[in-house]
Amino acid sequence: MSGCGRFSSGTKEVGGNPWEDHLPRGIEQDRIYVFTPDGHVVDLPESATAVDFAFRIHSDIGLRCKGAKVNGRIVPLNQTLKTADQVEILTSNRESPSRDWLIPALGYITTSKARSRLQAWFKQQDREQNIADGRALLDREFLRLAVEDIDYEQLAQKLNLRSLDDLYAAVGTGDLSVDRVINVTQRLFGADKIPEPVISLVGRATSAEQGASDVYIDGVGNLLSHIAQCCKPIPGDSITGYITLGRGVSIHRQDCQNVLQLMADEPERIIKVDWAEKPEQFYSVDVMVEAFDRHGLLRDITALLDRERINVSAMQTLSNKNKNTVDMSLRIEVSSFSDLSRVLARLSRLPNVSSVKRKT
């Protein structure tokens, strides 16, 4: 790799982890023990990655990390390490860490040392650059989640920040995680307290009569309710209810074009609804994946969803042989915005994938 160095001058060829006999006896169950190319043992938490390893060796190695080899093979930087792995870090000539490492959903770092050192490094960078980077991270995440019409000034106040620039800068430096902003956004337009009246039963989009209630209907009797298939809201979306004829209350996203028209035509049938504090059901979401076609792409996508324990209820692909592109429409089941955010982020990191977003 041109322009890159290694943190160690020598590299052993690995054939079946030859260092296993040198592991400490009576090792802790929640720790892993990996080796440097020179055979030194490094202990880490069991969920540690190559980036965690790099910062454990030295902060400078972590900040200059550009790649990693595990047992002699190039691996993704967010791959979880295992006991007896031999790890080699490839470095660049200058410090250039990625802000993506600070996004929990992408799984690059798990140790507090790595996170705090990264945050400290980004704080030292130019404020205007931090603001620009923070804005880009939030815009990308909100676009993926199809969240629109956000009052950013109100969001900043909710997060105890003085201005929108302070919000962007905090995200840019890593002091404020994207996940935290998403979680606060979910609650921003909802009531501070869950209403007292009758609870209506809402389950999966395909079955509204199972499990615990996830939606509270304000000021009405015990009505049947169901998730509207036109917009498929999930916990975290701002929602509203429409009293149908014969099917109870349909639950829509507040920005759904159908419910906006119903608000104009029949405002007396629109009612206030809110998500429960801890929704317990799963909800269908349509996701669009755009990619340059390659061998194994579909396999990699389905394998990732399987690892994330995400159920896929429908899939459709459309290939363009002339442009060598493929568009995939997936219907997946998630329980919250956090689930959706994590899955979209990890899908977007697959090779050849150019765009991943929620379909509305």
DSSP collapsed to 3 states, 276-287? CCCCCCCEEEEE
Average pLDDT over residues 4-14: 43
- Predicted confidence (pLDDT) at residue 327 exceeds the cutoff of 70: yes
Question: Which segment, 49-58, 198-207, 301-310, is predicted with the most confidence on average?
Answer: 49-58
- Predicted confidence (pLDDT) at residue 278 exceeds the cutoff of 70: no
Q: Mark residue 107 as left, alpha or beta (left: phi above 0; alpha: psi -120 to 50; beta: remaining).
A: left
State how beta strands 199-200 and 87-92 pair.
unpaired
**What band does 184 get if pLDDT is binned at 50, 70 and 90?**
confident
Distance CA 276, CA 335 (A): 12
Angle at 310 between CA 357 and CA 191, to 5 degrees: 65
Report how far Cα 301 is from the mean position of its chain's Cα atoms. 15
**What band does 277 get if pLDDT is binned at 50, 70 and 90?**
low
pLDDT for the residue 246: 66
How confident is the prediction for the chain on average, in pLDDT? 79
pLDDT digits 0-9 by tens, 119-135: 889 888 778 888 888 88
DSSP state string for 299-336: HHHHHHHHHTT-EEEEEEEEEETTTTEEEEEEEEEESS
Q: How many residues does the chain have?
A: 360
pLDDT for the residue 206: 34
Q: Is the dihedral of CA 341, 342, 343, 345 positive or negative?
A: positive
- Predicted confidence (pLDDT) at residue 3 exceeds the cutoff of 70: no
pLDDT digits 0-9 by tens, 186-241: 777 443 332 333 323 333 333 333 333 567 665 444 457 788 888 888 887 788 88
Distance CA 130, CA 134 (A): 6
Q: Which two tokens stand for residue 125?
A: 């960078």
pLDDT digits 0-9 by tens, 337-356: 778 888 898 898 899 999 99
Question: Which segment, 85-94, 170-179, 262-271, is predicted with the most confidence on average?
Answer: 85-94
In contact, 213 and 225? CB cutoff 8 Å:
no
Helical axes 127-144 vs 178-188, angle rounded to 10°:
60
In contact, 159 and 167? CB cutoff 8 Å:
yes
**What band does 58 get if pLDDT is binned at 50, 70 and 90?**
very high
- Predicted confidence (pLDDT) at residue 322 exceeds the cutoff of 50: yes
- Predicted confidence (pLDDT) at residue 42 exceeds the cutoff of 60: yes
Helical axes 112-123 vs 50-57, angle rounded to 10°:
80
Domains and CATH numbers, the chain: 4-98 (3.10.20.30), 125-188 (no CATH), 199-275 (no CATH), 284-358 (3.30.70.260)
**What band does 24 get if pLDDT is binned at 50, 70 and 90?**
low
Q: Is the dihedral of CA 282, 284, 290, 292 positive or negative?
A: positive
Question: How much of the chain exceeds pLDDT 90, in percent?
Answer: 25
**What band does 13 get if pLDDT is binned at 50, 70 and 90?**
very low
State how beta strands 270-271 and 199-200 pair.
unpaired
- 288 closest CA partner among 319, 324, 328, 315: 328
**Which phi and psi angles does 230 have, rounded to 5°?**
-70, -30
pLDDT for the residue 211: 30
Residue 54 has a CB neighbour count (10 Å cut-off) of 27
Average pLDDT over residues 44-63: 93
Question: How much of the chain exceeds pLDDT 70, in percent?
Answer: 81
Angle at 349 between CA 343 and CA 354, to 5 degrees: 105
Average pLDDT over residues 245-249: 74
